[in-house]
Amino acid sequence: MLSRLEKLFEYVLWNSRLIVLVAVVASLVVAMVMFFIATLDVWTLVTHLGGYASLLGEARLAFRTETIASVVEVVDGYLIATIMLIFSLGLYELFVSRIDAAEGSEFAQRVLLIRSLDDLKDRLAKLVLLILVVKFFEHALVLKYHGPIDLLYLAGGVLLVSLALYFTQGKKA
């Protein structure tokens, strides 16, 4: 009787991992939403470029800076969408099952190199760092420089971002 109860408990415990499907589906939905938002941002950006040729002087420079900031926002949106997609795929592979459609695909080997929670965490951390770099660039574009100290702060920020990227690369054999 105790052995049967133990087997039932282990069966329920093991299958409770399937609750992760909620996070998998939610992450996939968020990824699709972010891809949609970023694509709409691209469309908006492209439709507003028509007036660029007619601008002169400061107005043209301001429009250009605003356009570059919009491009950075689009990149940011696509990176967030990619993070959510990788998170969804990683959770599914770790807790539910291997993705049969990806087996044998060379592309899948590059994307689905997630064998543990640490692999997933490392991959997501690198993408989050990339988003922070993009955000830093976005803010650097619109920063008003009032003196040499502001440029020194910008240089220090660039140095810190560079160090962060260097230390996340790891050893290459």
d(CA 112, CA 109): 5
d(CA 114, CA 119): 5
Q: Is 30's pLDDT higher than 50?
A: yes
47-to-9, 42, 66, 71 alpha-carbon distances in Å = 59, 9, 14, 13
Q: Is 111's pLDDT higher than 70?
A: no
Q: What's the whole-model pTM score? A: 0.71
Burial readout 11-23 (b: 16 or more C-beta within 10 A, e: otherwise): eeeeeeeeeeeee
91, 18 contact by CB (below 8 A): no
Tokens of 169: 């690369």
Q: What is the average per-residue pLDDT within 98-109?
A: 71
Largest distance between two CA atoms of the chain: 86
pLDDT tier at 31, thresholds 50, 70, 90: very high
Question: Look-up: residue for tokens 């991992």?
Answer: 17
Q: Is 163's pLDDT higher than 90?
A: no
